[in-house]
Structure 1
Amino acid sequence: MNMRLYERWCKAAKDRNERKHYWTYTEKDGGRDVVRSDLVETIRSHYDRLERIAEDVERLGYKTAAAILSEAIPKTPKGRSGDLGEILATELVEEEIDMRVPVRRLRYKDGRNMAMRGDDFIGARYDGKDKKLRLLKGEAKSNKVLGKATVTSARKVLNRDSGRCTPDSLLFIANRLLESKDQEDKELGRRLRDEVGLKSLHADRISHMLFTVSGNGPRDCLKQDLEATDTNRDQYVVNIHIEDHQVFIAAMYEEAEDLGVD
């Protein structure tokens, strides 16, 4: 769907020191306009399946379908900012790390203005012919002004549970996959459910990502955070710099809620 969203939208600078990855993204001139419609559709897809939205439009018309979608989308600037951080992180993982984020968590929120508990995003893939499981535990932060306290807080969350994906988060994803009719989904769901009990994955098979979106550019505190991390796993620290952070979020959500006219 996103046709390599970041590649068309942003300029990337990627530094690597062994297992530590420091990635910064800035918008290309005109890049936002290039991806605008795809980005809006991507936002919608994290709240509901696009085919389900299309069915609503066909049955009820654009205005009523938009009202249904709107009930899933947060109304507060803080809620939208937090959700967009998770959305952009999920898309980056799937585009840049060749991992799948198998469940769109925002479709399952208790209330549209409430933050979900647990890990912000979890990526998964199999390695090699023996299909060894590899996971990525991620924490997403979206702030007009990114500061050290936010980074420190996010790192603390990544390190909890001995750096493993929290059992409740893993079990939530596993159970959603086990409900799928797709056999590959079910197989992954079984593997994730087993991992909740067995805790068999070594640290070097559970990567961490601290993903940030901010109105200010990448801060020294991000590099310092990465330098202080352990070296027994892949570590990713990412910043997406969007200068008009709050204006951008408001505009994207306004367009996401507007499905068109009958």
Structure 2
Amino acid sequence: MTRYAEWCAQVEPPVPKHKLKVLKADPTKHAAAIAAVAAAVPDHYVAPARLAGLLTRLGRSAVAEFVAQKLPTATSIQSGDLGEILCTTYVHEATPFKLGIKRLRWKDHRNMAMRGDDVLAFELGQGGAGLAVLKAESKSRAKMPASVVKDARKALSEFGELPSPHALSFVADRLSEAGDKPLKDALDDAQLKTGLKLSQVTHMLFSFSGNDATAILSKNLGEYTGPVAQHYVGLHVEGQKAFIDAVFAAVKT
């Protein structure tokens, strides 16, 4: 996990009906932040069991090389991937949506962006009852413009504000392979039997930027008139590009 509370100041500007959280990275704690984020990155690209098997058979240097081959080298892909990783870890650390997959493990190529919903996470009641779904869009920019936030808002509202059927099927297939029957069955039922209701869905728009995007996020959130619960998050890291470069460099060491 990335332990945001240890290197970010957090505030919640008042927004009618919905939730906006702003995280401001403390510049004096950048070294600790880079170390925490870098430690979380490999798990998003490679399953721990795979790394453990490589470590046992081939040793630590082989593990390091294998992870390095998974990491993107294109600047724009590094930015997008890290935004998705930071969004995923925030969801797991700060919301009830603890279940799901780390979808970057299934990238076609390390320098290609994945299509579909950026992050899907789930909450499941005891015995498989009470499925709740978080549909998240992550955007990463050195300077976040209103147009990019608008694009993310549009993506959240696609498919009638629900997760895309393909994205849900993709998650269910991966859960089936992993043997996670309760969540897999709940997703299958939602798609093929009962349907997924808007009341079961929450949207998250996660902004990772070098500028303070609070005003942009607040305005966009205030313009939303749909029925789905909204949770916007703005992570502000000064020198965002240098931060990204340092994180990926740390992962390789």
Distance in 2 between residues matched to 1:191 and 1:16, nearest whole Å: 35
Amino acid at match of 1:203: L
Distance in 2 between residues matched to 1:254 and 1:5, nearest whole Å: 20
CA contact (8 A) 1:175 1:193 kept: no
Q: Name the residue aligned to 1:179.
A: 177
Q: Name the residue aligned to 1:100.
A: 98
Q: Name the residue aligned to 2:201.
A: 206
TM-score normalised by the chain length of structure 2: 0.92
Structure 1, unaligned runs of 5 or more: none
Q: Name the residue aligned to 2:227.
A: 232
Distance in 2 between residues matched to 1:191 and 1:26, nearest whole Å: 37
TM-superposed CA distance for 1:176, in Å, is 0.7
Amino acid at match of 2:213: P
TM-superposed CA distance for 1:124, in Å, is 0.5
Distance in 2 between residues matched to 1:195 and 1:212, nearest whole Å: 29
Structure 2, unaligned runs of 5 or more: none
Distance 1:36 1:136, change over 3 A: same
Distance in 2 between residues matched to 1:31 and 1:204, nearest whole Å: 39
Structure 2 counterparts to residues 36-115 of structure 1, below 5 A:
36-115=34-113
Cα RMSD of the aligned pairs, angstroms, is 2.0
CA contact (8 A) 1:125 1:134 kept: yes
Q: Name the residue aligned to 1:189.
A: 184
Give the alignment partner of residue 124 of structure 1, picking from 112, 115, 122.
122
Amino acid at match of 1:193: D
TM-superposed CA distance for 1:71, in Å, is 1.7
Distance in 2 between residues matched to 1:16 and 1:56, nearest whole Å: 49
TM-score normalised by the chain length of structure 1: 0.89
| Aligned residue pair count | 253
Give the alignment partner of residue 144 of structure 2, picking from 143, 146, 152.
146
Q: Name the residue aligned to 1:215.
A: 210
Distance 1:192 1:129, change over 3 A: closer
Q: Deviations over 1:92-147 (max 9, x none)?
A: 11111121241000000011111111100011102478831110100000000100
Q: Report sequence identity in percent.
A: 30
Q: Secondary structure at the match of 2:113?
A: coil
